[in-house]
Structure 1
Amino acid sequence: MLLYLSSNENIGIFDFLSKEKGMVIKKLSGDFYLKKFVIHDMRSLSHYSYFAIDLKALKDNENEIIEAITAFKAMYDSRIIIFAEGLKREDEIISRLIEEKIYNVIISKEIQEIKDEILKCLSHIGKTEEDWNLKETHENQYIFNHKNVKIAVAGVSSRVGTTTTAFNMARFLFNIGAKVSYTEANDSGHLKEIADYYEFLKIENYYRYKGVEYYPNKQFPNDVNYQIFDLGSLYKGNIAIFKNCDIKVLCSGSKPYELIETYEAINSVKDVNYNILFTSISNEENFKIRKSFENSKDNIHFLKYSPSLFDEKINEDIYKEIIKDFIA
């Protein structure tokens, strides 16, 4: 038996199961607060083997949906099936569902493909993690043979895009299929403000958002492909950490006084290989900056302006070049 919370738009999507499989389906259509439904109404309906949820029928925000599903899993044994027509693997809600081990998620748009996905969800095993991972591998065509590759991102001074670069690199790495973490390895406290503003999912001692794990207080996990450390401004107290990371990224602006700070930073790390990311201005100015630093032991790149913390695309060619020795 299947219980289906449906929007009016998608009320007939599971009907073929009654005709072809003889399955008993109970439909509840309209607008629902899933969290309230799970707590107050589900107890009398817990005998259903499958609980299908049309995301279009829900009035909850994403955090409330995840909390409600987590509570449901703790209380009941019914298999959860999520109908999320037209969404993609990288969409926030889908990523979070998969992270919570909710693999029976339907995202197809064509009728036959939707039916195929429904039947897969109702099969003996249902959808598994491999169903989603195989799709990622096929799309991304990358192999990650390394574990816990440490990437240090530091600025020659404050407000040169260090945190934006670290966040965008994390998004880029996740987008190509890697498991990645971000660590706030500085004392700014910005991560909590960012997490509150964008409503990151709080999990014990870290946050999760769009597939990336974010750790405050210099904490980090040991089971990822890449660990990104946002060191803030480079100074005597964190130079050793910067030098000891596998990949070293130094962020700088392109203003004259920022270039002076870049020279000073270079002198403090001149015995290691690193990448300098300058803000791109114009071809003429970029050439002048490259000429000024041509004797430095570094790889110079010029970033396109990115106001977003979650833009993995705009500078992806640069990020790919930076990690090329740790990707296949």
Structure 2
Amino acid sequence: MAREMLGVVLVMGLLLAMVPNTMQSRLTGANLDRRGSAYIGLILSTAHDEQLLLDSGMFVPETSVKKAGRVFKVGTFKGIIDYGNAASISPSVKLADVAVLSEASFISAWTWEQYEGRSMEALNDLPSLKIGDYNVPEAGDNKLASLQFQKISKYTPKGSNKKTFWYYIDPEWLKIASQLKDITLESCINGRLCTKDVPSVKFGVKGSSSDSYVQNEAYGKSLNKELGVSTVDRKSAATVSTAVANGVKHIVFRGASNKPGTSSDNEIKALTSKNLFKVVSEFVELLANELPMLKYKYI
């Protein structure tokens, strides 16, 4: 079910299933609760994360609508929890740590500046990635010039499309998540492989997304230095920008499963996913306590 990059939407998300009769009559095979129910919505990154959810016993399938090979729950999204693994490009975010993003950006939004041309950096207050700074064996001039990061249109329910580079995570849900600071994470898996540092939950982390997964160590270092970005993935910014455009409450959790320039380790990934799922589960419980009038159901 899950697919990397696009992920799977398990339509849970503080969802009120209040669908007009005219729409219900068009959907065959649907058994919708007209009284309304509250749900928690999760967006998962990989099949492994999905399997952790299924194995946990917290996931109980219910009646749904199947169209064109996809499964849908009909209703109105009231909140989205996006979680999955990411690459860490910051020394402060260690392997198997769980990052709670405070903001996210599209780092693939840039233009290629001409060599010895006019710099656009002063015009949009965003830094440039100067290719020559990463020449080896030493920095110097480079005719590849530089990459100038760009702002993109930020849409809102009111139709506003102001330009922005950073998308901010919902402050109320971040405040709730701050209660997770003392949660104990695991540093070993299968009783033998242990991380060098004891994993922890990191708050106020700047995340980023691009069309392709960042594998280049120098590029990762430049993003961390110039933009203060700590994690890179392929979907967090898309989730946040969509939530903002629809006025939906949202939060993003990222497990640091690897670093650019290093080989991938499946056991580290498994440990990270386990810690990530623990943090998300605790957040769901906190959210339920903050909103006692809503009945939460896993679907």
Q: State the structure with bigger RCO (CA 8 A, min sep 6), 1 or 2.
A: 2
TM-score if structure 2 supplies the norm length?
0.25
Query: Which of the two has greater helix per residue?
Result: 1
TM-score if structure 1 supplies the norm length?
0.23
Query: Which of the two has greater strand per residue?
Result: 2
Question: Based on CA coordinates, which of the two structures has the bigger radius of gyration?
Answer: 1
